[in-house]
Chains A and B, each alone.
Chain A
């Protein structure tokens, strides 16, 4: 029997300063059966909400005013007062050029989706973060999802310095 996703069990935080966009994402999630949805228009408000009560999934824009979506990701992943450092984060943004994608990836975003977006693209990201969770990496200067998308078997010797 094929697997299904019961979105009614999943809580979301949408961070976007454009009210029509935040409402559209909220309405899409409602159709999927989500009932626990909070909306913040700044990073500061998002942090306040998350300090009180963490959510299962965060959907954030990059361009949010004084502080960007990257600041939110960094806070979730590294701050001592972040209640869940492994929260899946989808960046849904009109800042979609390659350098933005790379910076988001290197700060610990889970999925990235460019605006303008379509419902299939958003749904695929939701399925990915809920049904296909990724391993996390804790290393010098990085805490976040494993950035390797493809696992390529390597049979040669381990040549990293720390193994000398």
Chain B
């Protein structure tokens, strides 16, 4: 009896707390700036949670930068027709479940009435794209680009693909400047893996390089001895493990070296700290990293410092973080320029805008030649290699121009 009464009291207290929170948040709305929500759909739980939460943190940083002003965004908030606006980020989890992704999109579009969604992973974007396109909501796809979701039919979908670009820059350079001829490709068996493999194949098809091995491994695999044994038997000159998840790729590097593979490997958006601690820096000799600068740009340094200060070194997910920074600024600028929140106008403005990218300038949208629509930002692209324990930039400021 007594216990029961206690729990009633507790429930009343809980209800009180909830009501209080609602009131407080309602009070927060009553400022002179209007808050506009940006939606996020990513994987906050499950195996890919580190990536998802990390990118959510960067989105939050970018939005706070716009709201409060800083080194990158000089004013506070953004102005449309003389009225001041702030962003507010609202992120939901999909845990790589299409049903949950669709639920999240419904929640964002129909309940929270967002006009912009940042989303992670191609499969999930494909799942909710019918809803977002119909509602004319701008979707920014942080995923390996595929022609099946970036095309003229999907006017409101934008992307920040780096893998495709990397392949068309990297492989022609490799053919010209090194005597590497035999390539082995190893990717995880999920969306990102498949599209990255397709991009690598596309890049290699422009050259005379030979693919001697090409396979996908189950995404939760941790022991790569058997598959690496097989790869090494094929005697490749280079192993392309482009977009393998950060944890797994460090294990692949370590285990490949244990099995006696001494050649170079190719990695997109490396998490250098992770590679150092798991694989050991001496094992990273001859690895190609893309995009990675021997020296971070001003913007990258700024973002990294801010991130580490706010979320801790523990939660820094490596070089991939930078790609989540730019779009919030581009979109705010496009909205200011368009003078409206109407997404069609904003898209048209954004497409022609000169961009300020964290990777350097100039940056602009391209991709019509390959995707049929300009939805891919091009920016100076650097690829570096570990030589004698030091990162050396081997390709500087390249543009993936024939994707134009």
Please say whether chains A and B are actual partners in one complex. Answer: no
Binding site for B on A (CB under 8 A): none
Binding site for A on B (CB under 8 A): none
